[in-house]
Structure 1
Amino acid sequence: MKLLSIIANKIATLDPQGIGIEMEADKPGWCDAINGLPGLLGSSLCETIELERHCLFLRENLDKLNLKGSASVILYEELYEFMRGLIRAMKRKLNSKKGERALLYWEESNRLKERYRERTKMGVSGRERKMTVAEVKRFLDACLRILDEVFKPENKNKIFHKNGVCYTYFVNEVKEYEPIWKDRKKKIPALSHSGYPLVRAKKFCQRPVSLFLERP
């Protein structure tokens, strides 16, 4: 259950390009050199690769256990519903041919994640649900297909330096946005808890951070 919780939260935190895992707080990885990246909507390819390793580990070991597909795993209700929602979101992305499919998945997965966090911020309900092993495998397979897309040929120039080394960190700059209105007719914007106007990002420009200690 613990690994599934980590995987679900991470796969719902891919950046708008579907390449790196977003940094949501200060001191990512306890690396002082990148403390400012969360404030620049930074994301990390290192985390993506680690997430793929987790998915492969769990998927391969489920096969080794030789469990029947009808066998079940007990999950707390909030995680169960979060994973079911992510399965649908990932399926839509994988079946879509739209150019903005990564951005659409980013929006949908973040809605699911924020709902999950809202429900669990004071703890879980205590209610449990059963998810079959077959469903868990489908979830992990969908995660792996999403992560496999990172290294597709069309992303080569985005994630590899000309010397062949992977970039590790990215800045995701908002290029287009629209206001979120409290009252559209009166042009009254919705405000955050800090009093700032809320906006909805419509387009991002991703740029890699210069190489530092990376090597093949």
Structure 2
Amino acid sequence: TFSRIHGDLERDYNNFNIDVSYYSQGPGNFRDVNQNRRVDVSQEPRVGDFNVRTFMSLMQMDGYNPLTVPTPMFHITTQDGINRVVSKVAYYTGAVNATAPARLEELLSKPFRVGQLFDDMKARNIFLPPKMEKQAFLNIVVDEAEQFPVALYAQNGFWADHWTYDQDLLDNFLSVYPDKEEWILFDSDPLPSYVSPSVVLPRAQRYSVVPVGDDKVVRQYKSVADGTSLPDKRMKLLNTIWSQPNYVGDEQGGAAWHPDENGNTVLLPLVSKLSMLGILKFATLDPLGMGVEMEGGKPGWNDAMNGLPGLIGSGTPESYEALRLITYMSKTLRKMDGKHVPFTREFSEMLKAIDDALDKYLAKPSLDKDELMASETVPAADFKLWDAVNEAKEVYRGSIVGAMSGDKKTWTPEDVADVMDKMITRFKEGQERILWLSDTGIAGTYFYFEVDEYHEVPVEKQAPIPSVAPVNVIVTRFKMPQVLPLFLELLRAKLYDEFFTEIK
């Protein structure tokens, strides 16, 4: 149940699917499976770091993730392992069809899902001996197999909030195994990164002019390049991955891991991937540092906000979560003397550029409330920081469309924490501004930014994709943001007040 869409058996209207097989597991959406597993280790300590590894492996190099998490796949990667399974089954079988071991060997040589394996055995007339239960056979098989988390892009953009449950998985693990914090962050097996058939477009290809009545306004209606607009470099990369003889996957999803130029999967320890996740979300803050932008074309869980990404919207729940992650990482890194944090060369260059931009911004005093509220446009210093950070992020994303260099740059934990502390300063400044812009005393949840000034992108640099607005633009100034009216926040506050008054 907890692996399926929303974990709810009753919601069959919500594209609900169940594998018609033994050991049925789904599929489910990344966010739903993720949030429903946040107490697994408390309920069953033997789960260990499984959930952390699964979802952090599915985190992409750009900080986003695929939508669908299907039933995981298994693969026995050595002939010796296959032979051991076949010999044990043949031993238990006794008098067995002479061709059954060969047929079983052929079946086990390919990646499989558990339920699919039993269905395929039945179709090939491969039967277990009467006294062997399916579970006993399954135990023999999985002892020799490697389990692979698999995923499927399955949409036309990336949700802003799916990642926010990742730290909860780590928190749950550490609540049971507090002595293993250093091990899981630095010394557990390094993790791959999923690669999707989709890339987030740079701003010069996301922002475009559209007619609204008699006016023309800037909108963000095309956020990602996928399908027929997918860059050739990414398509070539995926075709290479999918054609590998050891690729694990099928039409339901696969373990498509980002490789380097030599075809080796790029692996990083958990400390690196968590740091990258927090830093990339910082790099996606809106021009005032308040909310995380919906640059992937999707909002968070609240489907009523589906139009907000097109308005250049941002959300504060994700920025609060990003601050939580960055704060945890900074404090934890400062405890890890003698350790090292490896980043890919491409990411390291981006981080250095962001650090330089923060140094320039923080060297000057921040505007106070009266100064900020008197401004009709985003202050120049804020825009300059936003622009520089996004430029660094876009250069980085451009470098990971295809295979990566494979080069690593090692940072000390203290150096990473120093940069994160500067980010924390910016986060807190933004959160103070959230309250300044609210006239209710309650933090606003959603904002959108109207464009005050822009210039057109040269024709030869226009996005080579179909669009409702073919004229792309570069934004040079934003108006101060619009705060979406509060609804559930006020409703909850009212109900709380009524309840509290009645109790008193």
SS of corresponding position for 2:444: coil
User: Structure 2: where are the runs of 5+ without partners?
Assistant: 1-271, 367-378, 494-504
Task: Quote the Cα distance in structure 2 between the aligned partners of 1:190 and 1:2.
Answer: 33
Letter of the 1:202 counterpart: T
Matched, 1:62 2:333: yes
SS of corresponding position for 2:295: coil
Contact 2:345 2:407 in 1 (8 A): yes
Contact 1:7 1:54 in 2 (8 A): yes
- 1:199 positional shift: 1.9
Contact 1:76 1:128 in 2 (8 A): yes
Contact 2:288 2:430 in 1 (8 A): no
1:38-69 Cα shifts (integer Å, max 9, x gaps): 1110001111111110111111212333x15x
Q: Which has the higher contact order (CA 8 A, sep 6+)?
A: 1
Residue in structure 1 matched with residue 485 of structure 2 by the alignment: 210
User: Structure 1: where are the runs of 5+ without partners?
Assistant: 183-188
Residue in structure 2 matched with residue 148 of structure 1 by the alignment: 428
| 1:160-179 equivalences in 2 (<5 Å) | 160-162=438-440, 164-179=441-456
- 1:191 positional shift: 2.5
SS of corresponding position for 1:170: strand
Of 382, 386, 389 in structure 2, the residue corresponding to residue 109 of structure 1 is 389
Task: Quote the Cα distance in structure 2 between the aligned partners of 1:106 and 1:5.
Answer: 18
Letter of the 1:176 counterpart: E
Residue in structure 2 matched with residue 89 of structure 1 by the alignment: 357
- 1:81 positional shift: 1.2
Contact 1:177 1:203 in 2 (8 A): yes
Contact 1:161 1:167 in 2 (8 A): no
Residue in structure 2 matched with residue 186 of structure 1 by the alignment: none
Q: Larger deviation: 52-61 or 117-126?
A: 117-126
Contact 2:446 2:483 in 1 (8 A): yes
Identify if the C-alpha distance between structure 1 residues 62 and 39 changes in structure 2 by more than 3 Å, giving closer, same or farther: same
SS of corresponding position for 2:411: strand
Q: Larger deviation: 202-211 or 109-118?
A: 202-211
Task: Quote the Cα distance in structure 2 between the aligned partners of 1:27 and 1:17.
Answer: 20
Of 126, 137, 141 in structure 1, the residue corresponding to residue 417 of structure 2 is 137
Give runs of ≥4 in structure 1 deviating > 3 Å: 96-99
Letter of the 2:476 counterpart: K
Task: Quote the Cα distance in structure 2 between the aligned partners of 1:75 and 1:181.
Answer: 35
Residue in structure 2 matched with residue 157 of structure 1 by the alignment: 436
SS of corresponding position for 1:28: coil
Task: Quote the Cα distance in structure 1 between the aligned partners of 2:340 and 2:328.
Answer: 19
SS of corresponding position for 1:82: helix
Contact 1:26 1:36 in 2 (8 A): no
Q: How many residues align?
A: 204
Identify if the C-alpha distance between structure 1 residues 190 and 26 changes in structure 2 by more than 3 Å, giving closer, same or farther: closer
Task: Quote the Cα distance in structure 1 between the aligned partners of 2:301 and 2:314.
Answer: 14
Task: Quote the Cα distance in structure 2 between the aligned partners of 1:123 and 1:60.
Answer: 33
Contact 1:190 1:197 in 2 (8 A): no
Of 341, 346, 355 in structure 2, the residue corresponding to residue 78 of structure 1 is 346
Residue in structure 1 matched with residue 380 of structure 2 by the alignment: 100
| 1:16-31 equivalences in 2 (<5 Å) | 16-31=287-302
- 1:97 positional shift: 5.1
Task: Quote the Cα distance in structure 2 between the aligned partners of 1:63 and 1:138.
Answer: 9
Of 194, 198, 201 in structure 1, the residue corresponding to residue 472 of structure 2 is 198
